[in-house]
Amino acid sequence: MDVSEVTIESVETEEKVSLFRGRAVVDGMDVRFSGITVYTIGGPTVGVNLEQEDEARLLSAFGKEGVDAVIAELQRRIVEGDFSVSGPVKIRRQPL
């Protein structure tokens, strides 16, 4: 399966934690996701969750292993900086 056009649409950052929302195209389907990045010694740790409706579509098309592969690919691309940013980036000083 092909994951393309990964776009981060909004980011809120405080100190070493960033919350984000975005979209990607997976085999021609528009998929929305959200996630968290925690910057630690050794590099960032990224967790991604697909929007429930989009996860259900992917599950019916590719099965559980396919959904896991999409999540892993999104996480890899975010860690490696292989995405575009199209929305606001907020840097806050108060706790998230």
pTM value is: 0.89
Q: Split the chain (96 residues) into runs of 10 and give each run's mean pLDDT.
A: 92 92 96 96 93 96 96 96 88 64
Q: Are 70 and 2 in contact (CB under 8 A)?
A: no
User: Which pLDDT belongs to residue 43?
Assistant: 87
User: Which pLDDT belongs to residue 85?
Assistant: 92
In the chain, domain spans: 3-80
Distance CA 37, CA 63 (A): 26
